[in-house]
Chain A
Amino acid sequence: MKVFRLTSVSIFLFILCIVENYLNTLISLDFGVYIFLISLIYIGTEVFNQNLVLPIFLSGILYDSFFSTYYLGLYTSIFLIVVVLSNLIVSRYSQTNVVHLITISLCLLIYKIPIIVEFDMDYWIASYFISIFVNLFIFLFFKRVTKNYV
């Protein structure tokens, strides 16, 4: 049962990751809708536990293998760091909108590190700032929905 749960959570996270990439390929705008990043932050802030480390690790390994040109493990560690960082912030400060804004800003910065290192600032800075607000809005909306219905 535990293996089945771990496998299904891993597959679900990997599918979210693929959907995020498909979505951003489709919209082709100057910002990104990072549903997978939002789900990682949600894991970090709301449902953080040690049982989720393996599914996040496995989805990262799959993403690194199939969709990334970087070395295996880079995105895996980025995903894990995002979860740890978001949990660290909300466990130290109360969950206000400002704290969520800071959390998403920092996590997005880590999530986009390969692009930030590779490209000049003018390539990503505008998209980064717009993405913060778009994804914060989605995150807060998702949080409110889950609070009401779960």
Chain B
Amino acid sequence: MQSSQVVGVRKYVVYFLFIFLSGLLSVVDYFSNKTLSNFIPDQLSLISNFQVSDRLIQNEFSNLTSSRADLIAENIRLKEELTNLRVLYVENQELQDNIDSYKDLIKNISDFELTYYATSLILKNSTDEYLISGGRDYNFEPGDLVINETGYIVGYLGEVFNDYSILESFNSTNFNFRVLDENNNVFEVSSNGKELIFSSLESTLNSKVSNLFSDITFGHIGKFPIINLEPYEQRKLNNKLTVTVPIEEMLTFQSKLFIPKNK
């Protein structure tokens, strides 16, 4: 009886050892300020390698032509040409989409002194955080604003790696942001995952608040709108204004995102 219990426990020993090792790694990572967890992403650009290169698609048939009869070779050449045309068509469509999204962006932004780097969603991880393309390779830094194609802020960069970054979006409980209204009143924005909470820091607000903007006084790169609070209920508690806004829009693979940077 006792020996069967010992055998039962023994089969987990290796697992417990590795759980202990994982815990140890977490402790080392905590005290080394995440040097350990950033080591692999800093050495390897894995994320950008997920995309299949156009060159590979274009040359799909080219290796087959060498040892075939002329007719087959001609057939393959034509197929290759067709593939090239298809690739060009897809590329053209993508460029057309980019032009459209830039047109929307241009309509809504006021600052043309900045460079707008296009970025897109890579995936959402298990903790509902968004990974977006572009990192240190584009000189992105933690805190850089991320805007959508209408010029509205959708978040800021939380962590930046070689070729990807982690977006602190409205859904993130770490989301903490300061903005100004049109009368230069300061608001603090936080999130509980489902709602955004806007709280004024000044206690002398009388009129209704409408548009809120980022500002260079908070270290932001420029003035970008975040939301119009007019349609939402604005409550006054201890002379301070609080507005709760449900988060409705989710980012998808089709979302066009931009990161404004100085030229």
Q: List the interface of chain A (C-beta within 8 A of B).
A: 18, 20-22, 24-26, 28, 48, 50, 53-54, 56-57, 60-62, 64-77, 80-81, 83-84, 87-88, 91, 111-112, 114-115, 118-120, 122-123
Q: Is B173 an interface residue (CB 8 A)?
A: yes
Q: Is B26 an interface residue (CB 8 A)?
A: yes
- Chain A hits for B129, CB < 8 A: 69
A50 & B11 in contact (Cβ 8 Å cutoff):
yes
B131 & A119 in contact (Cβ 8 Å cutoff):
no
For B42, the closest partner residue in chain A by CB is: A65
Q: How far is the CA of A72 from the CA of B31 in the complex (A)?
A: 12
B123 & A22 in contact (Cβ 8 Å cutoff):
yes
Q: How far is the CA of A107 from the CA of B126 in the complex (A)?
A: 14
Q: How far is the CA of A69 from the CA of B90 in the complex (A)?
A: 34
15 contacts between A and B (CB under 8 A): A20-B126, A28-B252, A61-B40, A67-B123, A67-B131, A69-B159, A72-B26, A73-B25, A73-B29, A74-B26, A81-B19, A84-B12, A84-B16, A115-B126, A122-B194
B34 & A26 in contact (Cβ 8 Å cutoff):
no
In the complex with contacts A28-B252, A66-B46, A118-B127, A72-B19 CB distance below 8 A = no
Chain B interface residue count, CB cutoff 8 Å, equals: 44
A70 & B22 in contact (Cβ 8 Å cutoff):
no
B residues 240-263 in Cβ contact with A at 8 Å:
250, 252-253
Q: List the interface of chain B (C-beta within 8 A of A).
A: 8, 11-12, 14-16, 18-19, 21-26, 28-30, 34, 36-37, 39-41, 46-47, 121, 123-129, 131, 158-159, 166, 173, 192-194, 250, 252-253
State the Cβ distance, B20 to closest chain A Cβ, in Å: 9
B11 & A64 in contact (Cβ 8 Å cutoff):
no
- Chain B hits for A74, CB < 8 A: 22, 26
Q: How far is the CA of A75 from the CA of B128 in the complex (A)?
A: 14
Q: Choose from B18, B36, B121, B193 the contact partner of A57 (Cβ within 8 Å).
A: B18
State the Cβ distance, B8 to closest chain A Cβ, in Å: 7
B123 & A21 in contact (Cβ 8 Å cutoff):
yes
Q: How far is the CA of A111 from the CA of B127 in the complex (A)?
A: 10
- Chain A hits for B19, CB < 8 A: 77, 80-81, 84
A64 & B37 in contact (Cβ 8 Å cutoff):
yes
- Chain B hits for A77, CB < 8 A: 19, 22-23, 26
For B47, the closest partner residue in chain A by CB is: A66
- Chain A hits for B250, CB < 8 A: 28
A53 & B18 in contact (Cβ 8 Å cutoff):
yes
B22 & A76 in contact (Cβ 8 Å cutoff):
yes
For B12, the closest partner residue in chain A by CB is: A84
In the complex with contacts A53-B18, A80-B19, A65-B192 CB distance below 8 A = no
B166 & A69 in contact (Cβ 8 Å cutoff):
yes
Q: How far is the CA of A67 from the CA of B131 in the complex (A)?
A: 8
In the complex with contacts A81-B19, A123-B193, A21-B8 CB distance below 8 A = no
B26 & A73 in contact (Cβ 8 Å cutoff):
yes
State the Cβ distance, A26 to closest chain B Cβ, in Å: 7
State the Cβ distance, B7 to closest chain A Cβ, in Å: 11
For B39, the closest partner residue in chain A by CB is: A65
For A54, the closest partner residue in chain B by CB is: B18
- Chain A hits for B39, CB < 8 A: 65
For A75, the closest partner residue in chain B by CB is: B126
Q: Which of B19, B41, B252 has the most CB of A within 10 A?
A: B19
13 extra interface residue pairs, beta carbon distance < 8 Å, beyond A24-B124, A48-B11, A68-B127: A20-B126, A21-B123, A25-B123, A25-B253, A28-B252, A61-B25, A72-B26, A72-B28, A73-B24, A80-B15, A111-B126, A115-B128, A119-B192
For B20, the closest partner residue in chain A by CB is: A77
Q: How far is the CA of A68 from the CA of B124 in the complex (A)?
A: 10
Q: How far is the CA of A123 from the CA of B253 in the complex (A)?
A: 23
